[in-house]
């Protein structure tokens, strides 16, 4: 019997810190001797590493966690153009196939006991021109979700909208990470309000990490800061058997 546990990192928007959180979580799991793998089924935007084209997000997670997974295992659908997946797939002439994604996940489940998956952009993102949406994929793969939200002005609205939408799409959000958390009145109140109004028990905050840039593969000390601010026991309790 396979008892792999997983979490799907989703965001209130693109660029909110899903990759930073995925990399921090991978680091934390590996440090605690968990057999953990990263999964980014659909990626747009590539980096050439050692002459091979890989998803920029997967490259960053590899650098932070120090764990070099084979790119083709991690990212079945990777597109060079950093545009919405349905458009990237259309431009490349290679449509996204849910069966291929399912097979990639099945292989990862044989290899790993813990899987950290990352979405592309927000939840209501089309994956093809036939209304196959990112939330359909996550529901089909039976992952619980961890929602990454910004810390500043506007985040209460984006977070509550995403939570309501996730629920209506049949997804379970097990945790929220408020990312880039500072010490201003607005940020502190946002975190408190989200804790109170979201109905989600596990709400974490991750501070601003200096010299962090997922695009240029600058890690700052993300691994250490993530470990200091997100308790291992709390975060793994959001990961369910998939
Ligand atoms: N905790 C953080 N501290 C500082 N900068 C951050 C943090 N999280 C994200 N960023 C910045 O935001 C950018 C986008 O983050 P990323 O994780 O790639 O977002 P997503 O995966 O949601 O598109 C990063 O390149 C980095 O510059
Ligand atoms: Mg990302």
Domain count, the chain: 1
pLDDT for 39-73, tens place per residue? Answer: 999 999 888 877 777 899 999 999 999 988 888 88
- Binding site membership of 212 for ligand 1 (Cβ less than 6 Å): yes
142 is catalytic: no
| Nearest atom in ligand 1 to 118's CA | 21
Domain range for 34 = 5-241
pLDDT average, residue stretch 186-199: 98
**In terms of DSSP bridges, do strands 173-181 and 202-207 run parallel, antiparallel, or are they unpaired?**
parallel
Active-site annotation holder among 18, 40, 47, 109: 40
Work out the number of other CB atoms within 10 angstroms of the CB of residue 42: 24
- Binding site membership of 12 for ligand 1 (Cβ less than 6 Å): no
Q: What is the CATH number of the domain that holds 188?
A: 3.40.50.300
Predicted local confidence at residue 52, as pLDDT: 78
pTM over 0.85: yes
Name, in order, each residue with C-beta under 8 angstroms of 178's C-beta and a sequence gap of 6 or more. Answer: 149, 150, 151, 155, 187, 190, 191, 194, 203, 204, 205, 206
pLDDT average, residue stretch 105-111: 96
Phi, psi for residue 90 in degrees, rounded to 5:
-65, -45
DSSP H helical segments within the chain, as ranges? 18-31, 56-65, 71-74, 85-92, 98-111, 134-141, 155-168, 185-197, 222-229, 232-236
pLDDT average, residue stretch 73-83: 91
| Nearest atom in ligand 1 to 216's CA | 25
- Binding site membership of 14 for ligand 1 (Cβ less than 6 Å): yes
Spacing, Cα 119 to ligand 2 middle (Å): 7
Give the integer Cα–Cα distance in Å for 12 and 108. Answer: 26
Give the integer Cα–Cα distance in Å for 176 and 189. Answer: 15
Confidence of residue 1 (pLDDT cuts 50, 70, 90): low
- Binding site membership of 11 for ligand 1 (Cβ less than 6 Å): yes
Packing angle of the helix pair 56-65, 18-31 (nearest 10 deg): 30
- Binding site membership of 214 for ligand 1 (Cβ less than 6 Å): yes
pLDDT average, residue stretch 91-109: 96
What would the two tokens of residue 53 be? 């084209």
Which of 20, 148, 183 to mutate to test ligand 1, by most ligand atoms within 8 A of the CB atom? Answer: 20
pLDDT average, residue stretch 93-115: 97
Give the integer Cα–Cα distance in Å for 214 and 186. Answer: 26
């Amino acid at each position: 019997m396979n008892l792999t546990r997983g979490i799907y990192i989703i965001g209130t928007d693109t660029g909110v810190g899903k990759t930073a959180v995925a990399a921090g979580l991978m680091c934390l799991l590996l440090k605690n001797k968990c057999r953990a793998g990263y999964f980014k089924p659909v990626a747009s935007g590539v980096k050439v590493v050692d002459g091979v084209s890989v998803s920029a997000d997967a490259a960053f997670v590899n650098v932070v966690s120090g764990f070099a997974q084979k790119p083709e295992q991690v990212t079945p659908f990777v597109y060079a153009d950093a545009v919405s997946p349905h458009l990237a797939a259309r431009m490349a002439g290679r449509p996204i196939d849910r069966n291929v994604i399912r097979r990639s996940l099945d292989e990862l489940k044989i290899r790993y006991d813990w899987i950290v998956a990352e979405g592309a952009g927000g939840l209501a993102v089309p994956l093809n021109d036939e209304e196959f949406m990112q939330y359909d994929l996550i529901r089909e793969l039976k992952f619980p979700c961890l929602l990454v939200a910004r810390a500043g002005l506007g985040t209460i609205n984006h977070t509550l909208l995403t939570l309501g939408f996730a629920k209506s799409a049949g997804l379970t959000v097990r945790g929220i990470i408020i990312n880039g958390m500072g010490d201003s009145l607005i940020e502190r109140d946002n975190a408190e309000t989200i804790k109170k109004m979201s109905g989600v028990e596990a709400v974490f905050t991750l501070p601003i990490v200096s010299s962090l840039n997922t695009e240029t593969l600058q890690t700052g000390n993300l691994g250490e800061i993530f470990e200091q601010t997100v308790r291992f026991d709390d975060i793994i309790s959001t990961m369910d058997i998939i």
